[in-house]
Amino acid sequence: MKLKERLRLFIRHNRVILLFRLMLDAFYEACSQSKHLGASNMMRDEVKFAADLCIRTHAIEKGMSIGSVRMGFGQPKVLALIDDLLLYVSRFPSVSIDESMAVIANYIDFNRANGCPVEVVEARYEVLKKAYTLKEEMAAGIAICSKADTIEATKAPFDVFSQSRCSIRDFDTETIVDINDIISAVDIARKAPSACNRQSAFAHIYQGERARELFDFQGGTNGFGHDMQYAVLVTADMRRYFINERHQMYVDGGLFAMQLLLSLHYKGLATIPLTTAYKTRQTQRLKKNFDIPPHEVPVMIIGIGAYKESYKVAVSHRNSVDTYYQVHR
Ligand SMILES: Cc1cc2nc3c(=O)[nH]c(=O)nc-3n(C[C@H](O)[C@H](O)[C@H](O)COP(=O)(O)O)c2cc1C
Q: Residue 136 domain-assigned?
A: yes
The yes-or-no verdict on residue 261 having pLDDT over 80 is yes
Average pLDDT over residues 188-199: 98
CA of 272 to the centre of ligand 1 (A): 7
Q: Give yes or no for residue 268 CB within 6 A of ligand 1.
A: no
- Which residue from 164, 167, 264 has its CB within 8 A of the most atoms of ligand 1, so it is best to mutate? 167
295: left (phi over 0), alpha (psi -120 to 50) or beta: alpha
- In terms of domains, do 193 and 272 share one? yes
- In terms of domains, do 68 and 179 share one? no
- In terms of domains, do 159 and 56 share one? no
CA of 17 to the centre of ligand 1 (A): 39
- Is residue 296 helix, strand or coil? strand
- In terms of domains, do 133 and 182 share one? no
- In terms of domains, do 129 and 189 share one? no
- Which residue from 61, 232, 260, 272 has its CB within 8 A of the most atoms of ligand 1, so it is best to mutate? 272
Instruction: Give the closest residue to 273 by CA, choosing from 37, 50, 62, 33.
Output: 62
- In terms of domains, do 175 and 132 share one? no
| Structural domain boundaries enclosing 244 | 143-313
Q: Residue 23 domain-assigned?
A: no
Atom of ligand 1 minimally distant from the CA of 272: 15
Name the amino acid, one letter, at 25: D
Check: CB of residue 59 under 8 Å from CB of residue 84. Answer: no
- List, for residues 272-317, the tens digit of each pLDDT value: 999 999 999 999 999 999 999 999 999 999 999 999 999 999 999 9
Q: Give yes or no for residue 167 CB within 6 A of ligand 1.
A: yes
pLDDT at 195: 98
- In terms of domains, do 68 and 123 share one? yes
CATH number of the domain where residue 260 is located:
3.40.109.10
Burial of 314 (C-beta count, 10 Å sphere; 0-12/13-18/19+): buried
pLDDT at 326: 97
Total structural domains within the chain:
2
CA of 88 to the centre of ligand 1 (A): 25
CA of 43 to the centre of ligand 1 (A): 24
Q: Residue 22 domain-assigned?
A: no
pLDDT at 2: 86
- In terms of domains, do 306 and 172 share one? yes
Atom of ligand 1 minimally distant from the CA of 58: 21
Q: Give yes or no for residue 312 CB within 6 A of ligand 1.
A: no
Listed in sequence order, the residues at least 6 apart from 142 whose beta carbon sits closer than 8 Å to its beta carbon are: 61, 64, 65, 106, 110, 312, 313, 314, 315
CA of 166 to the centre of ligand 1 (A): 9
- Pairing outcome for strands 296-307 and 142-146: unpaired
- Residue ending a domain, among 116, 140, 164, is 140
Percentage of the chain with pLDDT > 70?
100
Q: Give yes or no for residue 223 CB within 6 A of ligand 1.
A: no
- List, for residues 135-193, the tens digit of each pLDDT value: 988 999 999 999 999 999 999 999 999 999 999 999 999 999 999 999 999 999 999 99
Q: Residue 320 domain-assigned?
A: no
Listed in sequence order, the residues at least 6 apart from 90 whose beta carbon sits closer than 8 Å to its beta carbon are: 131
Atom of ligand 1 minimally distant from the CA of 61: 21
pLDDT at 304: 98
pLDDT category of residue 21 using cuts at 50, 70 and 90: very high
- In terms of domains, do 182 and 274 share one? yes
